[in-house]
Amino acid sequence: MKTGIVLMVLLLGGCGGTPASYHSEREIPEGPGLLTGEDGVYQYRR
């Protein structure tokens, strides 16, 4: 099983897609919030 998993990932890494980011569905969602609006966060900048 260990060998299979390592081979699978190495094989996928060689497939040559366009690099993308992964955001877990279980973390705080990306995008707008009900109260925070379009930004999705309360934001302070200086």
* Residue 11 Cβ vs other proteins, minimum distance, rounded to whole Å: 10
**Amino acid in position 36:** T
CA–CA dist 46, 43 (Å, integer): 10
Q: Residues 4-43: x/- map of binding to other proteins (CB under 8 A)?
A: xxx-xx--xx-xxxxxxxx-xxxxxx-xxxxxxx-xxxxx
The residues near 36 (Cβ < 8 Å, ≥ 6 apart) are 42
Q: How far is the CB of 30 from other proteins (least distance, A)?
A: 9
Residue with tokens 């969602």, as numbered in its chain: 29
| Residues in contact with other proteins by the rule CB under 8 A | 1-2, 4-6, 8-9, 12-13, 15-22, 24-29, 31-37, 39-46
